[in-house]
């Protein structure tokens, strides 16, 4: 089992910045990729940014040039630096990981509990 714990959310004014962190723990063998999603509807989450094991990154068009995803392998932690925040960025942000947690080496999908980001006008 892999546990993901997010932190760093909060309330900021438009144009401000926040840095989200996601720490992975538990019986973690390896991580294939990690990413950040945000809840856009009651049932839908959209990809904000992701990073793979070879450090390939991917961003939603709406956050390119404003957000930066990075990771620290030694700490099993992924970060999302969010700059020039807009009210449209307001959402519950979730950390996601594709990882193996046992000797079967099966890659599974894991989610954190979410951290709220609110951007005021």
Write the pLDDT tens digit of every residue in 64-102: 999 999 999 888 899 999 999 999 999 999 999 999 888
Please give the average per-residue pLDDT across 5-24, as a whole number: 97
* Burial track 13-41 (b if 16+ CB lie within 10 A, e otherwise): eeeeebebbbbbeeebeebebbbbbbeee
d(C-alpha 118, C-alpha 12), whole Å: 6
Query: Given a cut of 90, is residue 63 above it in pLDDT?
Result: yes
What percentage of the chain carries pLDDT values higher than 70?
100
pLDDT of res. 100 = 87
d(C-alpha 101, C-alpha 28), whole Å: 5
């Amino acid at each position: 089992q892999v546990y993901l714990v997010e932190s760093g959310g909060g309330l900021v004014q438009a144009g401000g910045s926040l840095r989200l962190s996601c720490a992975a723990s538990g019986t973690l063998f390896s991580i294939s990729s990690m990413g950040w999603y945000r809840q856009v509807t009651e049932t839908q989450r959209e990809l904000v940014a992701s990073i793979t094991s070879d450090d390939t990154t991917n961003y939603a068009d709406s956050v390119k040039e404003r957000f930066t995803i990075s990771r620290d392998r030694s700490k099993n932690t992924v970060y999302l630096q969010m700059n020039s925040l807009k009210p449209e960025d307001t959402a519950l942000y979730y950390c996601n990981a594709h990882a193996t947690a046992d000797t079967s080496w099966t890659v599974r999908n894991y989610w954190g509990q979410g951290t709220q980001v609110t951007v005021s006008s």
